[in-house]
Chains A and B, each alone.
Chain A
């Protein structure tokens, strides 16, 4: 079942090494990602958007504040929050099918049901014919498809995506965006999607949250005016892109201000 994510006054400070000043990446971050909402986190590099995602995933602990998923406090990584990495992070010693099956095995899903889910997920991402291949035999796009299938198969309550398509070529990226949307529209889930692409955010998001350079303060949180399905060439999509872009410029400017101050 899909769940919401609530941030309550979350801060993250990395201790400075060898006398260097401590680095506060996120300060007083609050907000909610609603059930089944597709949220895009956008911001200039170094704004802390990946740190936010890592804290939800349970890979990093907030210095202060709380993050809860479906009312339960995040205390570490767990199968209720699936993650898709930019670097795929497939297990290279297992076939595509075995990679997808592993999360189900961890949940002690019976074998027959496991097989069924693996087939359904691999067919959904178009990798069924490649199920017995090792990750090294796949192209980047196919690896990311396999990673998405692996995450979805474990049926998490929230899906976290950390610039999942940033390493792919433009064409593959477009395909995968469309596939992700059609899968997501088929069975909705709460998604937090970190990206640095304005176009990607406009195309995918229900809401776009833009973080500034200055300790991850929220510059804008824009509900998408667009209906689905969307076409990246439609005028209203491009208009929304323009709006996001304007806010992003402002986010970068606040960073400069903060540095000057």
Chain B
């Protein structure tokens, strides 16, 4: 058998299926820029015509200026750092715990019987509902925020991982068995490897939710953080600063999601995807 009679066309077409990570932005970026420009133009017009109260709806430029002012004093970075650290710490606990328990529950009937009912009972309770409880238990320090984020993210990662493992094609396990892979080897080479892309999707979803929730937590119990910045600025009626907090949270969420997408595209180049 020579390699010459290999179906060349198929090889070539196979090459072309390389997934292009779907991170193309330019066209959509234009939309964004136009919208912001429009908002700025309306604000400028309003400065002369006064058809709405400019203090309540600051112009994009005033928000940027407020952002620069906060950055200059370093205040912005203190808040950013605080929120970032809380989200990171929570995720650092939630990822191994969620993925680990999911692997355990799907591989051991005993673990499933013990853990699954508890997890299913707690899962529908919105984690925000438990935040006051966490504050009573752990005080208003960093522990509370980390536990809160970890708790919320855990369920998302756990559920997506369990789902991923249950959807692995049985034929792959049959192939592993016939190749003589033992339980641990099958676990690593089939279960874990097959579930990994879905676990990453779970991580992305959990991260998005964490950015969401950290703001709520910082409204209630914090002396710094972007949520604190927003709430504290409300008290002083500094709407531009409130907007800065909201925009920065959005940007952090966007950036972290983008980084994870890049990582996925690199890590899972083996995936069969056309999109």
Which residues does chain B contribute within 8 Å of A92, judged by CB atoms? Answer: 270-272
A175 to B3, CA, bound (A): 12
Are A106's CB and B185's CB within 8 A? yes
A175 to B185, CA, bound (A): 34
Which residues does chain B contribute within 8 Å of A78, judged by CB atoms? Answer: 177-178, 180
Which residues does chain A contribute within 8 Å of B174, judged by CB atoms? Answer: 57, 59, 77, 83, 85, 89
Are A89's CB and B11's CB within 8 A? no
Which residues does chain B contribute within 8 Å of A33, judged by CB atoms? Answer: none
Q: How far is the CB of B192 from chain A (nearest CB, A)?
A: 10
Q: Among A76, A129, A154, point to the contact of B3 (Cβ < 8 A).
A: A129
Are A106's CB and B177's CB within 8 A? no
Are A172's CB and B271's CB within 8 A? no
Which of A70-122 touch B at CB < 8 Å? 76-79, 81-83, 85, 87, 89-94, 102-103, 105-107
- The total of chain A residues at the interface (CB under 8 A) is 48
Are A102's CB and B181's CB within 8 A? yes
Q: How far is the CB of A229 from chain B (nearest CB, A)?
A: 14
Q: How far is the CB of A161 from chain B (nearest CB, A)?
A: 12
Known A89-B171, A91-B172, A136-B271; contact A106-B7, beta-carbon cutoff 8 A: no
A94 to B271, CA, bound (A): 10
Are A124's CB and B1's CB within 8 A? yes
Are B269's CB and A134's CB within 8 A? yes
Which residues does chain A contribute within 8 Å of B2, judged by CB atoms? Answer: 126
Which residues does chain A contribute within 8 Å of B268, judged by CB atoms? Answer: 93
Q: How far is the CB of A186 from chain B (nearest CB, A)?
A: 11
Please, which residue of chain A has its CB at the minimum distance from the CB of B18?
A137
Are B6's CB and A137's CB within 8 A? no
Interface residue B17 (Cβ < 8 Å from any Cβ of A): yes
Q: How far is the CB of B143 from chain A (nearest CB, A)?
A: 38
Which residues does chain A contribute within 8 Å of B175, judged by CB atoms? Answer: 83, 85, 89-91
Against A, the Cβ 8 Å flags (1 = close, 0 = not) of B172-192 are 101101111110010001100
Are B177's CB and A77's CB within 8 A? yes
Which residues does chain B contribute within 8 Å of A134, judged by CB atoms? Answer: 269-270
A124 to B179, CA, bound (A): 19
Q: How far is the CB of B169 from chain A (nearest CB, A)?
A: 8
Which residues does chain B contribute within 8 Å of A76, judged by CB atoms? Answer: 177
Interface residue B193 (Cβ < 8 Å from any Cβ of A): yes
Which of B162-215 touch A at CB < 8 Å? 169, 171-172, 174-175, 177-182, 185, 189-190, 193-194, 196
Are B179's CB and A79's CB within 8 A? yes
Q: Among B14, B181, B185, B190, point to the contact of A136 (Cβ < 8 A).
A: B14
Are A128's CB and B270's CB within 8 A? no
Interface residue B72 (Cβ < 8 Å from any Cβ of A): no
Interface residue A138 (Cβ < 8 Å from any Cβ of B): yes
Which residues does chain A contribute within 8 Å of B1, judged by CB atoms? Answer: 124-126, 175, 179, 182
A85 to B270, CA, bound (A): 21
Known A59-B174, A91-B193; contact A106-B271, beta-carbon cutoff 8 A: no
Are A136's CB and B17's CB within 8 A? yes
Which residues does chain A contribute within 8 Å of B73, judged by CB atoms? Answer: none
A129 to B6, CA, bound (A): 11
A83 to B185, CA, bound (A): 18
Which residues does chain B contribute within 8 Å of A172, judged by CB atoms? Answer: 7
Interface residue A58 (Cβ < 8 Å from any Cβ of B): yes
Q: How far is the CB of B78 from chain A (nearest CB, A)?
A: 42
Q: Among B15, B171, B178, point to the contact of A81 (Cβ < 8 A).
A: B178
Which of A118-164 touch B at CB < 8 Å? 124-130, 133-142, 150-151, 154, 156
Interface residue B31 (Cβ < 8 Å from any Cβ of A): no
Which of B69-128 touch A at CB < 8 Å? none
Q: How far is the CB of A122 from chain B (nearest CB, A)?
A: 10
Which residues does chain B contribute within 8 Å of A140, judged by CB atoms? Answer: 10
Interface residue B5 (Cβ < 8 Å from any Cβ of A): yes
Please, which residue of chain B has its CB at the minimum distance from the CB of A140?
B10
Q: How far is the CB of B186 from chain A (nearest CB, A)?
A: 9
Q: How far is the CB of A64 from chain B (nearest CB, A)?
A: 23
A133 to B6, CA, bound (A): 14
**CB<8 Å pairs between A and B, sample of 29:** A57-B178, A59-B174, A85-B171, A85-B175, A87-B171, A89-B171, A89-B172, A89-B174, A89-B175, A91-B172, A91-B175, A91-B190, A91-B193, A93-B196, A94-B193, A103-B181, A105-B185, A106-B180, A106-B181, A106-B185, A125-B1, A129-B3, A133-B14, A136-B270, A137-B11, A137-B15, A139-B10, A151-B179, A172-B7
Listed in ascending order, the chain A residues whose CB lies under 8 Å from chain B are 57-59, 76-79, 81-83, 85, 87, 89-94, 102-103, 105-107, 124-130, 133-142, 150-151, 154, 156, 172, 175, 179, 182
Q: Which 6 A-B pairs have the closest CB atoms?
A: A79-B180, A139-B10, A77-B177, A103-B179, A89-B175, A106-B180
Identify 7 new A-B residue pairs, CB closer than 8 A, beyond the known A78-B177, A102-B181, A134-B270.
A83-B178, A85-B171, A94-B270, A106-B179, A133-B14, A154-B180, A179-B1
